[in-house]
Structure 1
Amino acid sequence: QKDNRHQHVRFSREANQNAPHTSSLYKKPFAESFEETPLLVAVLTYMGYGILTVFGYLRDFLRHWSIQTCHVAREKEEQKDFVPLYQDFENFYTRNLYMRIRDNWNRPICSVPGAKMNLVERVSRDYNWTFEHTGRVVKDVINMGSYNYLGFADNTGACADAAVEATEKYGVGVASSRCEMGNLDIQEKLEQLVARFLGLESSMIFGMGFATNSMNIPALTGKGCLILSDELNHASLVLGARLSGSTIRVFKHNNMQSLEKLLRDAIAHGQPRTHRPWKKILIVVEGIYSMEGSIVRLPEIVALKKRYKAYLYLDEAHSIGALGPNGRGVVDYFGLDPKDVDIMMGTFTKSFGAAGGYIAGKKDLINFLRCHSHSALYATSMSPPVAQQIITSMTIIMGEDGTTLGADRIRRLSENTTYFRRKLREMGVVIYGNDDSPVVPMMLYMPAKIGAFGREMLKRNIGTVVVGFPATPIIESRARFCVSAAHTREMLDTALKATDEVGDLLQLKYSRREQPLPSLGWMAKESLLQD
């Protein structure tokens, strides 16, 4: 088995023998779906990119001789002798392929981005280099691309009312960093609530989720330290690791054999040239991987981390609120002790319907970051109404508002996720990720189908996100559905019906997995039993 993602992977209890808090894990099957790209599809995909490349260079030749207008940014003639401002291949891809499917992205939303939304209609007369608004609005588009996992991104309800009150009391902005004149009691209240929600000693909040990773990892590691990073980690984690100056080594996605080999080699050989022991070894992983829909194999990583005396940095941007019986993320999902994770990071931009991020852990760690984190020292502190939005939504999730609304949303998200994934699998399309992950990638493969899928779904009033190279491997272009607790069963059925129609139209049903027989009605089952 070349990769742990192939076929259905079921994790066993034996993998966690060395972890003291994992003895009661895996009470239910834990499966991850992955299918190899069919050979014919892979060949046709490479051929498609090859044809696009040939025509792209032909168009560049026409642009060079001013036969065709060039819209893309280029260096001036006097700049070409120096270091180029623009990378040639990235520019080539942007001007020859990205622009052909650009109408699927950056589309203006003119309503609340909830379960349904309104989109501004626009047209292009120059192959998506510029757009003109028609003045019309595409109404009631089912939003299948938002990270609004628990449905808190609304303009009505308890969260919105509390945010309005906070705006009237504090204003909309602080205009200062926390360490100067930007520290408010509402921010301290939120930090205490986050620590209590996660079951940790202390926490610290930041105004931007991306900066939470990119600006705090350099404060935690430096020269002489080793970072072991999953190959599919988010760009913010990659940037933070590079800025730290640490040595970076990458292990295969969710592959524990690859991670353990790197840990053994790091301890056996030490630093390059000097062979001195590493000052610090930091394992960096995510809870849910946003492009794969896979859940981190956290119990096994915790066991390895303890065995080899490393540190663990867990990014719960997509998993906090969306996983676990209490909505406390992947740690809650596996029933682990949160203290087994050294640095717990997450964002408020998804399940909480707000903005910003947090880092939680031991009190000594948080006190250190308050003095050394660039994001804490230089960035503007979190807006008060945003902080109040998070406080209210988190209180609802915890059930401290006196209702069962939070528990109901967590349960509904889990039911919607299971239902949507099962129906897609029965449909015959290829989907990736864990059965409990609300991020559902559906494989498109061929470049021409990326834009076509987004357009055809929008014609049926379904808003989706389509993703291609370089955000994914070149032969693994995909559409990414994000399931929400705000979706009703009728909305999901409408989206599934549209996906089925477009799947037939574009021939997207690539799955070679055996499909279950059509379910019989209960009357037919009874008659068969009687016979």
Structure 2
Amino acid sequence: MPASSMPSPMAINPASPTPSMFRKKKSTSVMSTAASYLSAVSQADARARALNSGSTTSTPALSLSSSVTGSSEDTVLHEDVFDDAEGLYYPSVPPTSEQIFHTVHTEFGHCANESYRYTSKHTPGTQLKEIIEQDPPYYILLTTYISYLLVICIGHMRDFVGKRFKPAAFRHLMTQDGYAALNSDFDSFYTRRLKNRIDDCFSHPVTGVPGRTIVLCDRYSLDHNKNFLFTGTRTRALNVSSYNYLGFAQGNGPCADAVEESVARYGISACSTRREVGTLDLHIQAEALVARFMGMESAFLCSMGFATNSTIIPSLVSKGCLIISDELNHASIRTGVRLSGANVRMFKHNDMQNLENLLREVISQGQPKTHRPWKKILIIVEGLYSMEGSLGNLPAIMELKKKYKFYLFVDEAHSVGAMGPHGRGVTDYFGINPRDIDILMGTFTKSFGAAGGYVAGNKALIDRLRVSSHTTAYTEAMSPPVLTQVLASMASIMGVTIVPEHKNASSLSILHSPATPQLSSVDLQQVTAYPGTAPSTALPPWMPLAPSLCDGIEGRSRLRRLAFNARYLNRALRKLGFITYSHDDSPVVPLLIFHPGKMAVFSRMMRTRNTPIVVVVVAYPATPLVTSRARFCLSASHTKEDVDTLLKACDEIGDVLDLKQAVGERWPLEEISRRAVELVNMEECD
């Protein structure tokens, strides 16, 4: 169905009697105190309780515009509208560029300003800048600990009294009819007494494409967040909560067209397991392209990102081996380590001196009790840490690898496709030969807009994993639409070189036919060299190849837009006075909030602005107890104006909640926005 004939998902219905509870009214004044905000939230909650659950309203428009909007395919920003009931202005900017956009503006923001571009690359010969984790003032830490202490004490008192005067409400935690309780009283205490209080900030139902914007399904609770009721309304919000780093989570565009064609060819039922129907041609093509993309000999695919680590690591090491793991490694790595049976030691996050001291100790002492040499020593690190936004110090680890001769496993779930001038991950970012690393692991759920994961390495290792890994025997294969999304998005990043059909698939010999163009030796070298382009023979012959996909312009543009957005937000937040832990080029930006109560209020205030913003808030046990944070995930689909909108919201809410605790030079918001390009291109920024 063409976009012009589809009803706009952002149509406005001013006459609707049930506006969303997550939208401000006509007043646009900033609340000066947290108390005034909490009072407003209480009033909104009271109105929500009186709503008729059967009423509906259409999705509100997002009060955002870009410096350049697309062609007539963009049916969202097609007219100027002012909703007096909501006090929101929805501007329409006429096309000012001859560029033809193939995406809807709400999915991918259109920006033709080449100044808002940057190349993600580490300066050769320099050390990775160490992140200095600033501590807040003592009164912040003290009130944070006191708040946890009060919640724990009051929670235990309520449990003690409730079990005696309201036993029915605690029946699921007590022994009854000779059966033990399925839910442990102690283990579920944190969930019941802390998380449930702020559960409206987590697991918010959404619908549609999680692109530049996202549509929230509005809800409210009548029993203090134990259960939620839907109002029937929806709210479109700016999305900085999804791992959509390159903006490939789209319903329109070349990748979506390729996926649609794969569904037509293979059908929906072609999602059976390999052991039932065998490996499809798409699996072979995807594995070959992933290996070429990563600069490795071979690659192996898995249908689930978490299972990639948790099932591959036990196939690499076993009893008598040693795993040295960064203390902030992902839960999937920890699960795989436990299942392997190998000994495990931890080193401080990105502390190379601590790692070297640990290596000397374990090599000199050998295995426990017997002191025999270790069968293998495997060090596992991540390229980009999702909670901290910090980069693994790969150059320093490579120096240690040459000295101590261990195996290296790098998890690039968040860095592949998002880091480096060619989007090849941290190896590309640091200019390191990927074949100097033993195992490269990554997922397709972030930068590529698909699902599943991969492991890349030398052919002997990958062939061994195909036989011994549990993911081969017990998991389902990736479905054709998912594989097609991987192929199309990866080819978009690489660019495609048209190679004529040849007789021998194992060589690049070309038929000298007048009907097919000939390639020069330079073209052939570009196809085979890393990080070169993808040959057209590596893709399915039926896959539609748009010009923007073939020449690699779209992929390079996305990489440079993401790098600009990430660097701009990181540095701008520090200039505003916030404490962040991430490296400048990281698309994951954690903003430290510390206090769990402030964390909930921060999320609600973001969601209730005139331009709603969806953020992820994270607390214990995913982070240390006193380092609760909001985590922003930037995307190439965001425009500079989107980042400015986020910065303005952080600036206003940060003043209300007293979040600006960082030391150093501060700039006003207007100066940050005006000098954005200068700020991004600075060599050093405190």
Normalised by the length of structure 2, the TM-score is 0.70
3-state SS in 2 of match to 1:120: strand
| Aligned match for 2:216, one of 113, 119, 123 | 119
By how many angstroms is 1:512 displaced?
Answer: 2.2
CA contact (8 A) 1:222 1:244 kept: yes
Q: Which residue of 1 aligns with 2:633?
A: 482
Q: Which residue of 2 aligns with 1:529?
A: none
By how many angstroms is 1:135 displaced?
Answer: 0.5
Distance 1:434 1:323, change over 3 A: same
Does 2:193 correspond to 1:93?
A: no
CA contact (8 A) 1:433 1:441 kept: yes
| Aligned match for 2:599, one of 447, 450, 469 | 450
CA contact (8 A) 1:315 1:344 kept: yes
Does 2:658 correspond to 1:507?
A: yes
3-state SS in 2 of match to 1:100: helix
For residues 178 and 293 of structure 2, the distance between their equivalents in structure 1, rounded to whole angstroms, comes to 54
Matches within 5 A, 1:72-151: 73-74=172-173, 76-77=175-176, 85-139=182-236, 141-151=237-247
Matches within 5 A, 1:179-328: 179-328=275-424
Distance 1:172 1:503, change over 3 A: same
Distance 1:451 1:516, change over 3 A: closer
Please give the per-residue CA displacement for 1:30-57, whole angstroms capped at 9, x wherever unaligned.
4535212432211111111001111111
CA contact (8 A) 2:173 2:185 kept: no
3-state SS in 1 of match to 2:318: coil
By how many angstroms is 1:496 displaced?
Answer: 1.1
Distance 1:120 1:338, change over 3 A: same
CA contact (8 A) 1:174 1:380 kept: no
By how many angstroms is 1:314 displaced?
Answer: 0.5
Q: 1:424 corresponds to which letter in structure 2?
A: L
CA contact (8 A) 2:575 2:665 kept: no
Does 2:147 correspond to 1:51?
A: no
For residues 168 and 248 of structure 2, the distance between their equivalents in structure 1, rounded to whole angstroms, comes to 46
For residues 403 and 222 of structure 1, the distance between their equivalents in structure 2, rounded to whole angstroms, comes to 43
Task: Out of 347-356 and 104-113, give the one that drifted further.
Answer: 104-113
Distance 1:24 1:438, change over 3 A: closer
Q: Which residue of 2 aligns with 1:377?
A: 473
Does 2:565 correspond to 1:468?
A: no
Q: 1:450 corresponds to which letter in structure 2?
A: M
For residues 206 and 43 of structure 1, the distance between their equivalents in structure 2, rounded to whole angstroms, comes to 46
3-state SS in 1 of match to 2:451: coil
Larger radius of gyration: 2
3-state SS in 1 of match to 2:377: strand
Distance 1:58 1:243, change over 3 A: same
Distance 1:27 1:326, change over 3 A: farther
For residues 660 and 621 of structure 2, the distance between their equivalents in structure 1, rounded to whole angstroms, comes to 23
By how many angstroms is 1:304 displaced?
Answer: 1.1
Distance 1:325 1:232, change over 3 A: same
By how many angstroms is 1:403 displaced?
Answer: 3.8
Q: 2:487 corresponds to which letter in structure 1?
A: I
| Aligned match for 2:454, one of 349, 358, 379 | 358
Please give the per-residue CA displacement for 1:111-169, whole angstroms capped at 9, x wherever unaligned.
21001011000000111110000011112x00011100000000110111111111111
For residues 422 and 221 of structure 2, the distance between their equivalents in structure 1, rounded to whole angstroms, comes to 47
By how many angstroms is 1:433 displaced?
Answer: 1.2
Matches within 5 A, 1:340-419: 340-400=436-496, 401-419=550-568
CA contact (8 A) 2:255 2:489 kept: yes
By how many angstroms is 1:341 displaced?
Answer: 1.0
For residues 219 and 165 of structure 2, the distance between their equivalents in structure 1, rounded to whole angstroms, comes to 29
For residues 73 and 150 of structure 1, the distance between their equivalents in structure 2, rounded to whole angstroms, comes to 45
For residues 245 and 168 of structure 2, the distance between their equivalents in structure 1, rounded to whole angstroms, comes to 44
Distance 1:247 1:37, change over 3 A: farther
Distance 1:71 1:319, change over 3 A: farther
For residues 145 and 178 of structure 2, the distance between their equivalents in structure 1, rounded to whole angstroms, comes to 35
Distance 1:399 1:31, change over 3 A: farther
Distance 1:408 1:126, change over 3 A: same
Q: Which residue of 1 aligns with 2:537?
A: none
For residues 72 and 247 of structure 1, the distance between their equivalents in structure 2, rounded to whole angstroms, comes to 41
Distance 1:484 1:126, change over 3 A: same
For residues 79 and 285 of structure 1, the distance between their equivalents in structure 2, rounded to whole angstroms, comes to 47
Q: 1:239 corresponds to which letter in structure 2?
A: T
Task: Out of 168-177 and 305-314, give the one that drifted further.
Answer: 168-177
CA contact (8 A) 2:302 2:478 kept: yes
* Percent identity between the two aligned chains: 50
3-state SS in 1 of match to 2:592: strand
Please give the per-residue CA displacement for 1:440-491, whole angstroms capped at 9, x wherever unaligned.
0000101111111111100020000000011110000000001111001111
CA contact (8 A) 1:450 1:466 kept: yes
By how many angstroms is 1:71 displaced?
Answer: 6.7
CA contact (8 A) 2:493 2:552 kept: no
Distance 1:309 1:198, change over 3 A: same
CA contact (8 A) 1:63 1:70 kept: yes
CA contact (8 A) 1:173 1:384 kept: no
Does 2:534 correspond to 1:437?
A: no
For residues 273 and 37 of structure 1, the distance between their equivalents in structure 2, rounded to whole angstroms, comes to 45
Please give the per-residue CA displacement for 1:88-117, whole angstroms capped at 9, x wherever unaligned.
443110000000111111111112100101
By how many angstroms is 1:24 displaced?
Answer: 8.2
3-state SS in 1 of match to 2:445: coil
By how many angstroms is 1:331 displaced?
Answer: 0.5
For residues 419 and 175 of structure 1, the distance between their equivalents in structure 2, rounded to whole angstroms, comes to 41
Please give the per-residue CA displacement for 1:413-448, whole angstroms capped at 9, x wherever unaligned.
011111111211111111111111010000010111
CA contact (8 A) 2:309 2:332 kept: yes
3-state SS in 1 of match to 2:571: helix
By how many angstroms is 1:26 displaced?
Answer: 3.9
CA contact (8 A) 2:219 2:228 kept: yes
Q: 1:482 corresponds to which letter in structure 2?
A: C
Distance 1:344 1:73, change over 3 A: farther
Distance 1:413 1:201, change over 3 A: same
CA contact (8 A) 1:182 1:381 kept: no
CA contact (8 A) 1:225 1:280 kept: yes
Please give the per-residue CA displacement for 1:263-306, whole angstroms capped at 9, x wherever unaligned.
11111000000000000000001010000000000011111122
By how many angstroms is 1:183 displaced?
Answer: 1.1
3-state SS in 2 of match to 1:32: coil
CA contact (8 A) 1:109 1:117 kept: yes
For residues 244 and 427 of structure 1, the distance between their equivalents in structure 2, rounded to whole angstroms, comes to 46
CA contact (8 A) 1:71 1:129 kept: no
Q: Which residue of 2 aligns with 1:70?
A: 169
